[in-house]
Structures are given as C-alpha cells and as structure tokens.
Amino acid sequence: MSQVCEICGKKPMSGHNISHAHNVTNRRWLPNLQTVRTNVNGHVKRVKVCTSCLKAGKVEKFVKSATQKQLRPSAEESKS
C-alpha cells in the first residue's frame, strides 16, 4: 500500500540507524498519514492525508449526519 500524502506528496524518507558500536542498518521514516473522509468534486471519498496538511486546513473533513445543534457555526456554513 502506498505511503504517500495525496495533498502534498510527502513520502517515506530513508536513512540509517547507527548503534553505539556504529553498526549501520537501513531504516525508513514514514509520514504520519491518516485516512480522512472528505468531499472531492461533490463526492465523498476516503483520502490519505498527512497530519501537517490536516493541521494546516488543506483538507476539510466530511460531516456525515450532524444536526444543526451539533454543528459549530463555521462547520454549518461549509456543510451547505
């Protein structure tokens, strides 16, 4: 399965673990990806997004079935 953010394209990085005895082994640093349901071109779709994109507000989560009382005023505008 691909470990790539669908918004910014962030991918795994590679490098080395270095022990105290300076034994070098390969390792990978994976991006912190979360699966989020979002509205893409009018359709609800699951998207893999890194947490930095979520925090920056580049993706807006889809609100499934919330009543008017449960929504914040800012979320209420984006839902319609």
pTM (2 decimals)?
A: 0.69
pLDDT digits 0-9 by tens, 32-48:
999 999 988 888 899 99
18/34 Cα distance (integer angstroms): 29
Ordered by where they begin, the domains of the chain are: 1-60 (2.30.170.40)
Q: What pLDDT score does 78 carry? A: 54
Angle at the Cα of 10 (from 8 to 15), degrees rounded to 5? Answer: 160
Percent of the chain at pLDDT > 70 equals: 78
